[in-house]
Structure 1
Amino acid sequence: MPPEESAVVNDYDLLAESYTAMSDTEIQNAYYERPAVLALAGDVAGRRILDAGCGAGPLTVSLRERGAEVSGFDLSSSMLEIARQRLGPDVDLRVADVAEPLPYADNAFDDVVASLVLHYLEDWGPTLGEFHRVLKPGGRLIVVVDHPYAIHMLQRQAGQETDYSATYEWTETWEIDGRTMPMSFWNRPLHAMTDAFTAGGFRISVLSEPKPVPEAEALFPEDYRMLCVSPSCLFFVLQAE
């Protein structure tokens, strides 16, 4: 019997429990992306932080453990249910679409974290405008995106005639716990990212290509070596001007 397949693209409601279990333990999220975000955020005690596209809330939990006052939103209500179980009823978690106007007041946050979120959007302009609006003057936007050249090379290796200088949609099929799911993302060159940040009223203060945390080497030796020489993500800290 073939695996169950969803006709809906990027259906995290269907994948919520399986995706959460995977991302809690595998190298890409648990030992690479999240530790790097927390290192870039630094001392967050007392800061109001919005976790944009928070999913099941692992990063939100870590930020709160470090003393931040956290809020989060996600398009997937099923992912948010898991986040609520982790964070409890006192944390402001909302169903919202990162591509639409956000349900928060102006100047509400010291920091916005958008980790592996913007790659779902063809046009970053409205979303960056909303992030700028909800940030206090001088607030920080911490962004993690797929490394554009890594995606470009993956597509070329798969036989796709992609142009690194273009902004284009790409798709792949995820297989998790016997389910197959079509997933769609947008890739854009580095200069298009930096142009969008500048147009959105942000100044780049950090551009980082970190390595996984050292303890990942014993757990995932092959993946660890690969990420050390071929980063899969870019990390930005942006200042709202």
Structure 2
Amino acid sequence: MPTVPENVAVPVENDYDSFAEAYAAENETSLNNAYYTQPAIVDLAGDVAGRRILDAGCGAGPIFAELRDRGAIMTGFDSSAKMVELARKRLGDDAALRVADIGDPLPFPDGEFDDVISALVLHYLEDWSAPLAEIRRVLKPGGRLIMAVNHPVIFKLLYPDADYFATVKWSDEYNFNGRQAVLTFWHRPLHAMTDAFTAAGFRTAVVSEPYPAPGARERFPDELAGKTAFLSFLFFVLEAV
């Protein structure tokens, strides 16, 4: 196998530190985030007053902020130190934030949280077994994992000749507030997702393909013209059993 010379830098996949500010700025007003993912996660969470919630992959903290405003006791982490820095600017120095990776053992006790939020995080990982097991560990019995990942049909729409039933690595280019970036994902079919949930000790309570939030049609008339909704992400509410 060819090796990379020592003097050549190896690109870091999904290097959010390198485009964190542009990504955070884009998501303040974007259709996919501000008018779709974030409100959908908050709606699925429901009444969170007094609940201890872990935002696993909190980014710059928009969902953390919204749930905290609704009375939740929030803790968050992200693998990007720059994202955590931006979240701290938004949320204040007293916010319970740290740098950690969802692919590693989580730095929290067993049964610490009522809910875990994982918005657009797990689709970066090939193997879900260890992350889901750790999330299950830090949840109380009956606690919820509220999550969103790439809708599995998107990969098939982009690559019609690809094998939908395979777990496949793929990348796409994005423009975040004028900054070009490449994100790399792992496609997996729906049954592989639900099998992983069951194996980790979760019951699938909700599968959601939500509509855009109110105000989206006025702000994005061209993107939503003639559509009741659109395919982008798939949302789940899972209960720890």
Query: Contact 2:25/2:177 (CA < 8 Å) preserved in 1?
Result: no
> Which stretch shows the higher mean deviation, 88-97 or 102-111?
88-97
User: 1:236 aligns to what SS in structure 2?
Assistant: strand
Aligned to 1:181: 181
Q: What is the rounded CA distance, in whole Å, between the counterparts of 1:230 and 1:150 in structure 2?
A: 11
Aligned to 1:3: none
Distance of aligned partners of 1:227 and 1:72 in 2 relative to their CA distance in 1, 3 Å threshold: farther
Aligned counterpart in structure 2 of residue 102 of structure 1, from 92, 106, 109: 106
Q: What is the rounded CA distance, in whole Å, between the counterparts of 1:151 and 1:238 in structure 2?
A: 23
Query: Contact 2:26/2:177 (CA < 8 Å) preserved in 1?
Result: no
Which ranges in structure 2 are unaligned for 5 or more consecutive residues?
1-9
User: 1:45 aligns to what SS in structure 2?
Assistant: coil
Aligned to 1:72: 76
More helix by share: 1
> Which stretch shows the higher mean deviation, 81-90 or 174-183?
174-183
Q: What is the rounded CA distance, in whole Å, between the counterparts of 2:180 and 2:206 in structure 1?
A: 37
The amino acid that maps onto 1:182 is V
Distance of aligned partners of 1:229 and 1:36 in 2 relative to their CA distance in 1, 3 Å threshold: closer
* Post-superposition CA distance 1:170-214 (Å, at most 9, x none): 012233455433321001111000000000100011111111013
Whether 1:208 aligns to 2:212 is no
Q: Identity across aligned pairs (percent)?
A: 56
Q: What is the rounded CA distance, in whole Å, between the counterparts of 1:91 and 1:231 in structure 2?
A: 34
Q: Aligned-pair distance for 1:39? A: 0.6
Which fold has the larger relative contact order, with Cα–Cα distance below 8 Å and residues 6 or more apart in sequence?
Answer: 1
Query: Contact 1:148/1:187 (CA < 8 Å) preserved in 2?
Result: yes
TM-score (norm 1): 0.92
Aligned counterpart in structure 1 of residue 91 of structure 2, from 87, 94, 110: 87
Flag as ranges the 4+ runs of structure 1 deviating above 6 A. none
Aligned to 1:11: 15
Q: What is the rounded CA distance, in whole Å, between the counterparts of 1:31 and 1:180 in structure 2?
A: 22
- Count matched residues: 232
Query: Contact 2:68/2:74 (CA < 8 Å) preserved in 1?
Result: yes
Whether 1:35 aligns to 2:39 is yes
